[in-house]
Structure 1
Amino acid sequence: MKAEDRIIHDSLKETKRADERLSPYATRNSECIKVKNTKKERTEFDIRWPYEEDIDRVLYSKSYSRYVDKTQALSFFSNVYITKRSLHVQWVSRIARQIGRGLNLNLDLIEAIALGHDLGHAPYGHVGEKAINDCLVERQFGYFTHNANSVRNLLFIERNGMGYNVSLQVIDGILCHNGEILSPVYRPDCQKTVEQFWNEYEKCWHEKDYSLKILPMTLEGCVVRISDVISYVGKDIEDAIKVGIISSEDLPLEVIRVLGKDNKAIINRLIGDLVIHSYHKPYLEFSKEVFQALEVLFTFISTHIHHHPTLLKENEKLTRMVKELYNVLYDDLKYQHYPQKGICAHVQKMSAVYQQTPIELIVSDYLSGMTDSYALRFYEERFLPRQHGEMIEDY
């Protein structure tokens, strides 16, 4: 047996042994299903386990590179320590893997879902997401959600429209990761099929708020879903204190008593409580006391941070900006205003299959792929007058 074949053989044996050591409620590597169901001959040596391949597809995607210039919640504060989307997904991954290790789940699957869960976020986060959604609704095309768009990026936009053949369990976890809602119990939809996944994906684009109704097919997907919440509740508070929106004394006493008053304490309490009360169970849950405190904290963050008057005022400007960008990009593509650059040049580089995409969705793809700073530069270029110097008159 060749050395290469022996290594692959031993790796497969180790994968099997690893599967046997997992919790009975964990997802096995042997259960990995490629969502596009294509068969490809192995042409080069590859020692990676099934979900490790998906981790690499996410890490080396263009969408992942753009995380670095997309903010999390506070888009317009000039502070290097304010959370960027790139840090957020790493924190989600770290928290989720800690929970996964405590519950003996598949850590590769968790990491792939966590790192890829926000790939489809628009510039300026949920503000940009809502603005693009409004534009699609106005054109009677459908609805925009960043989780469905994250799936779209991986499967249909990356590699010039060819996409990646990502595992069903990974792409389903990304689609169902919704961190904007809390639940007392996180129970996976274990009977989900490939057909059901595609049906849910399509409904996210065509039924209002449908993405709030779907559940991950794996317990690992549930872990990422709650880790998304755990990663930002404490950090949003720290960020808001840094920029002066709130002070630590503003936190509700029942939250401080149960969860603590800083990010470290909140994360440690939530992770520990979740692992203890979910151990050897086919679902996730907090203790009643911790969940009630988390609900209070969740409401406090929404009211005092995300809906703070300063943010709402600036978010109105960002909403107008993103909508104006959508409209001008739509006209650029429809009427080929600049055929050799911008969105027109972008479409020309894409695959023949992608070029058949409805114009409303192409504009959504292009705009949602912009980083915060690029969207702002593009807006300035198209809508604001340029400085060309002064005319000096003779006297």
Structure 2
Amino acid sequence: MQPVLARSLAPWAVTSSRGRLHPEAEDSHRSPWQRDRDRIIHSRAFRRLQYKTQVFVFHEGDHFRTRLTHSIEVAQIARSLARRLDLDEDLAEALALAHDLGHPPFGHAGEEALDAAMRPHGGFDHNAQSLKHVTLLERRYAGFDGLNLTWETLEGLAKHNGPVRRPARYLAEYNARHDLELASHASAEAQVAAIADDIAYNNHDLEDGIRAGLFTVEEVAELPMPGAALAAARAAHAGLPEDRAAPEMVRRVIAAMINDVAEEAARRITALAPKSAADIRAAPAPVVVFSARMAEANAEVRAFLFERMYRHFRVNRATQKSKRALQMLFQLLHGGTQMLPDEWRRRAGESGTPAAAEVVCDYIAGMTDRFALEEHRRLTDPHVAG
């Protein structure tokens, strides 16, 4: 076995930190981003991802993805890509693990419900909520609220999808005291985490949709890219069992996407000729992206999922029930903050106010699917103890 050699990072990788909002002594055994990753993993918000939905409600099956398993899968893809591109793997991993911390229960249905409820108060944005969790809502440390993550990790959370032209209210408020340079692109490591999210999301939803019986592997194989991957798997494994066809197809598509991104990023970096991470941030366009061909193939997969999965009547029923549950929770708690747990009630203050709306939104956004359903029953069913 060949020994693992120490790697040198590319000149445009993030190699030093601008520090933390609250200064702390450095750890002699861990890099700043290893510490960030460890703090994220030990946070309450990260643990709650275990019972937060991707598409299916948590009780529908033990093998469907949750926000937690999705985040772990994104982190694996992000580390693979960061290594291919000679970037800092630990920063990419920390961002991948933290990117969904702000998602409310019930996936996009929950986000839509909270956004509608908060529309009079600036709306709801899960990216800003992720930043809020790690800078304010987590309360584990004696010296500060939040996790006191590095500037680079906070920057990546705020703008991993690109420059933020119209920041949500909390993001704007935080940025005023800790400038994350919202008008520029994020680091290459943050761009890696963002594209890893896209790769994991679509492919694993295909696998979950097949498992749920919403469509078959043969129907997915009618799409050019998954079809080619399935054909290659069957050519390599004669008599491929049906229960292994979908995983084989998905892993080959993921590998093809990683290769495509690595090659396209290398091409763009060569054309840009950056000399530092600052040059990546100042570039006119992101450098870690799909090629045009792969972007088109990915869009085809996304369109298939929208039609056959996200708009399936079973998913629509769960979506509508989830939305109604969260809307009712918000209305009841905003109009009656005396029903909030003690700590949250003290923060919310008077019922019906904008301040109360923000606290109620934070309370609901942090819930798991299971807790949200239980809280809904406690507040609406006279036979259930409060």
- TM-score w.r.t. length of structure 1: 0.76
Task: Please name the residue that 1:255 is paired with.
Answer: 225
Task: Please name the residue that 2:49 is paired with.
Answer: 67
| AA matched with 1:321 | A
Deviations 1:235-271 (A, max 9, x none): 1111111111111122233233455562211111101
Deviations 1:291-334 (A, max 9, x none): 2211111111122111112211221111111000011111231x
Q: For residues 327 and 306 of structure 2, what CA distance do their matches in structure 1 show?
A: 24
Maintained 8 Å contact 1:34/1:165: no
Tell me which stretches of 4 or more aligned residues in structure 1 moved more than 6 Å.
203-206
Task: Please name the residue that 1:202 is paired with.
Answer: 169
2:14 to 27, 39, 42: 27
Establish whether residue 141 from structure 1 lines up as the match of residue 124 from structure 2. Answer: no
Maintained 8 Å contact 1:93/1:114: yes
Establish whether residue 78 from structure 1 lines up as the match of residue 72 from structure 2. Answer: no
SS at match of 1:64: helix
Q: For residues 84 and 359 of structure 2, what CA distance do their matches in structure 1 show?
A: 42
Shift of 1:357: 8.8
Task: Please name the residue that 1:374 is paired with.
Answer: 371
Q: For residues 281 and 26 of structure 1, what CA distance do their matches in structure 2 show?
A: 15
Maintained 8 Å contact 1:27/1:218: yes
Q: For residues 104 and 348 of structure 2, what CA distance do their matches in structure 1 show?
A: 23
Structure 1 pair 357–156 and aligned structure 2 pair: CA distance change class (3 A): farther
Unaligned runs of 5+ in 1: 1-17, 179-187, 190-195, 207-212, 389-395
Shift of 1:33: 2.1
Deviations 1:215-235 (A, max 9, x none): 741011111111101012111
Shift of 1:351: 12
Q: For residues 365 and 229 of structure 2, what CA distance do their matches in structure 1 show?
A: 35
Shift of 1:124: 0.6
Unaligned runs of 5+ in 2: 1-5, 174-181, 231-245, 270-286
Maintained 8 Å contact 1:57/1:164: yes
Q: For residues 348 and 39 of structure 2, what CA distance do their matches in structure 1 show?
A: 19
Maintained 8 Å contact 2:226/2:250: no
2:153 to 148, 155, 170: 170
Task: Please name the residue that 1:3 is paired with.
Answer: none
Maintained 8 Å contact 1:278/1:284: yes
Alignment identity in percent?
28
Shift of 1:214: 7.2
Maintained 8 Å contact 2:121/2:354: no
Structure 1 pair 387–174 and aligned structure 2 pair: CA distance change class (3 A): closer
Shift of 1:71: 1.6
Maintained 8 Å contact 2:224/2:297: yes
Establish whether residue 266 from structure 1 lines up as the match of residue 253 from structure 2. Answer: yes
| AA matched with 2:78 | A
| AA matched with 1:366 | Y
Establish whether residue 276 from structure 1 lines up as the match of residue 263 from structure 2. Answer: yes
Which residues in structure 2 correspond to 1:8-19 (within 5 Å)? none
| AA matched with 2:92 | I
| AA matched with 1:39 | P
Q: Judge which range, 53-62 or 378-387, deviates more.
A: 378-387
Task: Please name the residue that 1:98 is paired with.
Answer: 80
Establish whether residue 111 from structure 1 lines up as the match of residue 93 from structure 2. Answer: yes
Structure 1 pair 169–273 and aligned structure 2 pair: CA distance change class (3 A): same
SS at match of 1:284: coil
Structure 1 pair 280–290 and aligned structure 2 pair: CA distance change class (3 A): closer
For the aligned residue pairs, the C-alpha RMSD in angstroms reads 3.0
Q: Judge which range, 244-253 or 228-237, deviates more.
A: 244-253
Structure 1 pair 227–221 and aligned structure 2 pair: CA distance change class (3 A): same
Task: Please name the residue that 1:392 is paired with.
Answer: none
In the alignment of these two chains, the number of paired residues is 331
Task: Please name the residue that 1:289 is paired with.
Answer: 293
Structure 1 pair 216–91 and aligned structure 2 pair: CA distance change class (3 A): farther
